[in-house]
A = this chain, B = another copy of it.
Amino acid sequence: MHFKVRAAAKEDCKEISRMIMELAVYENMADQVKTSHEDLKRDGFSPNPFYECLIAEVPDEHKTKDGHCLAGRSTCGHVSVSGQRQPGYTVVGYALYFYTYSTWKGRSVYMEDLYVMPDFRGKGIGTGLMAKVAQVGVEKQCVRLQLSVLEWNKPSLDFYIAKGAEDLTAKEGWHFLRFHGQTLDTLAKEAPKD
């Protein structure tokens, strides 16, 4: 299936927000999503953005009339809310990433989310998104592309390993730690006075 990958624009935040929720629903964690599309706009599309995002799109002919997307369908067009046919492409996946830094190796890129809508999987779109993140990173002189995967998510782990990723938790014993909520506030209050 033909698809294209492009940098997300501010106007895509509603679609990104919808897919973030789809992914969370799939993981039975919908109640954990606290970000709105307004947050995504503010945090990704201002000076010194906190993240960058890529969008995967397929031609409109893969959409149904009500806007849901079905792969392998014949051309059926898309009727928008205004009733006008929208030419072009429809969003079916995203990769959200940001830049990190290694004091030993320098610039790195970290892929926080990679999502392709279920009907569009197995068509190379996930690989396309991830490869584009790698390309963007390499162009910015990043020497690493990093990400985290839950152990039970064997299909994803296998996918990344097959693509050449090293599992540093298994190999070197890296543990990922987090302060949040009360522990974060308590810690912040221990900061020495200026």
Contact with B along A165-180 (1 / 0, CB 8 A): 1111110111111111
Within 8 Å CB of A194, what residues of B? 6
Residues in A14-58 with C-beta less than 8 Å from chain B: 20, 23-24, 29, 32-35, 39, 43-44, 48, 50-51
Q: Does A183 contact B (CB under 8 A)?
A: yes
Chain A at the B interface: mostly helix, strand, loop or mixed?
A: mixed
**Which of B96, B148, B165, B169 is the one whose CB lies under 8 Å from A183?**
B165
How many angstroms from the CA of A145 to the CA of B194 in the assembled complex?
21
Q: Does A113 contact B (CB under 8 A)?
A: yes
Within 8 Å CB of A3, what residues of B? 192
Given contacts A100-B98, A164-B186, A188-B134, contact A169 B179 (CB under 8 A): no
Of A65-73, A83-91, A101-109, which binds chain B?
Answer: A101-109
When the two chains form their complex, are residues A177 and B166 in contact, meaning their CB atoms are under 8 A apart?
A: yes
Q: Can you list 24 contacts pairing A with B, beta carbon distance less than 8 Å? A: A20-B103, A32-B104, A33-B103, A39-B106, A50-B106, A100-B110, A100-B112, A105-B180, A131-B187, A131-B192, A134-B184, A134-B190, A135-B188, A135-B189, A138-B184, A144-B178, A145-B179, A164-B187, A165-B177, A165-B179, A166-B179, A167-B177, A168-B177, A169-B175
